[in-house]
Structure 1
């Protein structure tokens, strides 16, 4: 009799805990969606007053080339509007409501907050273990949800800022497919045992395949410093991968293979994005930031849907999330952070030079690595820490080189 009573008590406790989790989940996400709506209204108002510029999801790399075409987004927009309407136009761009320091705090703080949490959630998703011992492996299903969140925000922004007509779609489709494949391979690397710090450092070396492609296909040349930067990042990443303390699981061969494939796809994506810019220029159209966000993520989402259906990840992913509401909460927040982070990228590039954005996104990667090590229980030996220092040195060297190159023309 006592055993029966104990069983009923346990069932009741589990039922109460389950109901409390669901209620807490809904309350948290109501506040999250309210925050997103407020942020989006602010960003869309700022973005709508800025001249249309090409934008891709790999913003830190693309905006550097855009800056060569347009001297300054803020200056260009102010000059054009001043010719139309005098003082009112100046107030639109040189907004007196917030000083530059506060705007930088908003933009950089939003990027840091969204993408640091994004990285933490991504790691949590692939380290999660259910009660039966199974883990979440549906990387393509995760890309469907992430791209879908960006499509929604991109569509709303495109409607508020005005959609650009006549945009060539073919290169958007190819670029989107390549980009989502690179992101899926990163997730698959994490799902197959590669640690988050190693994966993040490795992705910081994406300039390596870009350089290789340019050398082989474009006849480009690079300085010794640029070669050393790439070597430092790659070498440091390799040292970190091998520098774990005893008892720590080593990175799997499959995980390493996926991150290498992701880097190769980054190089392919960069080539397609250059062609995308030339195609839009030939068509005589200038897509706005939210045009790029919507169309790129739409094709990313469609590509991910096709692959996930072929691999039967939609059904298995939904079943896993249904059985484990905790991971569903993390996945939803992960997708939301991606969309919010992109909106803060728009805000930052609308108010500052592209170099500022590049600096913020580059240093964010370093902080993501350090936060993962300190908060997620990664244990590194002295060799591992030396690898961290070497890779971070390469990343910082790349950033300072861009700053020096930007300063020379002035």
Structure 2
């Protein structure tokens, strides 16, 4: 008699979900349950067949047109002081008042984002306890993305309701593209902390100029100055020094480090697409920054809500909150700091322009590495320190060169006009 055939091994869904690749796959499947039907609906609503059947312009048709073709007031208007319409320059005020406003912006940006970074690392890398021997570590990065996006949506929607605003013209569905890339970049950002140190992640974020330039060529056909290519090369050299000299923690193996690098690459690709797509919407439809914040977070909440419901993420996260109350407080404060930081970004750019804002945020990245090393005992070798210095020197060189280029172009414009006269 022949031996009975052995049953095929069952797929271990729990272990698959415990791997970052499995979590990513489950998230993408959840998002596709919205993206695919949404694509088909948009395609139908744009067709002539729908236009013939639409009949009278009722509320449903107005909502459809707002999503597909744009409308007169889907998100309302934007304040006259918004950075997208204010010209990005400093306002007329006394030197003392201008210094006080600048100090307020610096304190707001550094305070909110440095606190956000510390909490981010704590939530994703440290174990929580509730006074008993039992300890737990939170692992659902998507839930943190959801909480941040909900608070940011509420804050931006409230702002648009109470502040005078102008017409919104962009089709709502176009926010979904950068919303998807935004939640993916945020997920990668949280997930990467399970595999690489926080200083490594911060330096990778500081180095995203390279993928942003590449994505700008693909999405917007942008052209860049020679000094920008020099900066990209210097940043690449600095990152190489840092990764070669960074001292990894004892429990981090080669495979784990490689996974972290892959996730960071994913973060930079998605984040660079987000900024370039948003820039394209700014140029085409003249939307405001707060309208952009509201639209992107609206779709982000939709994507993450559906995916979390499908994976039972709300139940497991709520159970973790009840079991470890400290996590609930950390999660709430993480969302507050994230949303407050976004509002400080828009206010700083409107008051002092993009150059000052970039300098402040570059300072923040350097301080974030220092604070993380002090609080969580990250060891960095001298070679890694050299890499950090090269990266930040290249960033400041880019800021200085961009500023000088703007000054030169501004000086040439009046003389060219006088020559024509």
Does the 8 Å CA contact 1:50/1:74 hold for their aligned counterparts? no
Which residue does 1:14 correspond to in 2?
Answer: none
Please, which of 176, 180, 184 is the counterpart of residue 177 of structure 1?
Answer: 180
Which residue does 1:397 correspond to in 2?
Answer: 397
Report which stretch shifted further, 108-117 or 132-141.
Answer: 132-141
Which residue does 1:225 correspond to in 2?
Answer: 227
Residue 277 of structure 1 deviates from its aligned partner by: 2.2
Report which stretch shifted further, 343-352 or 139-148.
Answer: 343-352
Q: TM-score, normalised by structure 2?
A: 0.70
Residue 53 of structure 1 deviates from its aligned partner by: 4.4
Cα gap change, 1:95 to 1:390, in 2 (>3 Å): closer
Q: Secondary structure at the match of 1:378?
A: coil
Larger radius of gyration: 2
Does the 8 Å CA contact 1:128/1:327 hold for their aligned counterparts? no
Matches within 5 A, 1:1-400: 50-54=80-84, 71-73=87-89, 94=92, 99-131=97-129, 132=134, 134-167=136-169, 168-190=171-193, 192-215=194-217, 220-245=222-247, 248-250=250-252, 252-280=257-285, 286-400=286-400
Residue 51 of structure 1 deviates from its aligned partner by: 4.0
Kindly provide the CA deviation profile for residues 189-225 of structure 1, in whole angstroms up to 9, marking residues without a partner as x: 11x3211111111011222122223445665554453
Report which stretch shifted further, 155-164 or 240-249.
Answer: 240-249
Does the 8 Å CA contact 2:80/2:165 hold for their aligned counterparts? no
Cα gap change, 1:344 to 1:211, in 2 (>3 Å): closer
Kindly provide the CA deviation profile for residues 33-86 of structure 1, in whole angstroms up to 9, marking residues without a partner as x: xxxxxxxxxxxxxx98744443xxxxxxxxxxx8xxx755556xxxxxxxxxxx
Cα gap change, 1:175 to 1:246, in 2 (>3 Å): closer
Cα gap change, 1:402 to 1:369, in 2 (>3 Å): farther
| Cα distance in structure 1, aligned partners of 2:100 and 2:366 | 23
Q: State the aligned residue count.
A: 326
Which residue does 2:57 correspond to in 1?
Answer: none
Does the 8 Å CA contact 1:171/1:275 hold for their aligned counterparts? no
Kindly provide the CA deviation profile for residues 2-36 of structure 1, in whole angstroms up to 9, marking residues without a partner as x: xxxxxxxxxxxxxxxxxxxxxxxxxxxxxxxxxxx
| Cα distance in structure 2, aligned partners of 1:98 and 1:133 | 51
Gaps of 5+ in 2: 1-76, 412-421
Does the 8 Å CA contact 2:82/2:346 hold for their aligned counterparts? no
Cα gap change, 1:72 to 1:334, in 2 (>3 Å): closer
Cα gap change, 1:148 to 1:136, in 2 (>3 Å): same
Kindly provide the CA deviation profile for residues 132-171 of structure 1, in whole angstroms up to 9, marking residues without a partner as x: 4542111110001001111111112111213544432121
| Cα distance in structure 2, aligned partners of 1:216 and 1:333 | 37
Cα gap change, 1:249 to 1:107, in 2 (>3 Å): same
| Cα distance in structure 1, aligned partners of 2:248 and 2:213 | 36
Residue 361 of structure 1 deviates from its aligned partner by: 1.6
Cα gap change, 1:271 to 1:100, in 2 (>3 Å): closer
Does the 8 Å CA contact 2:146/2:301 hold for their aligned counterparts? yes
Q: Secondary structure at the match of 2:377?
A: coil
Residue 367 of structure 1 deviates from its aligned partner by: 1.5
Kindly provide the CA deviation profile for residues 87-107 of structure 1, in whole angstroms up to 9, marking residues without a partner as x: xxxxxxx46797100010011
Does the 8 Å CA contact 1:173/1:299 hold for their aligned counterparts? yes
Cα gap change, 1:216 to 1:106, in 2 (>3 Å): closer
| Cα distance in structure 2, aligned partners of 1:357 and 1:377 | 29
| Cα distance in structure 2, aligned partners of 1:265 and 1:335 | 21
Does the 8 Å CA contact 2:359/2:399 hold for their aligned counterparts? yes
Residue 386 of structure 1 deviates from its aligned partner by: 1.7
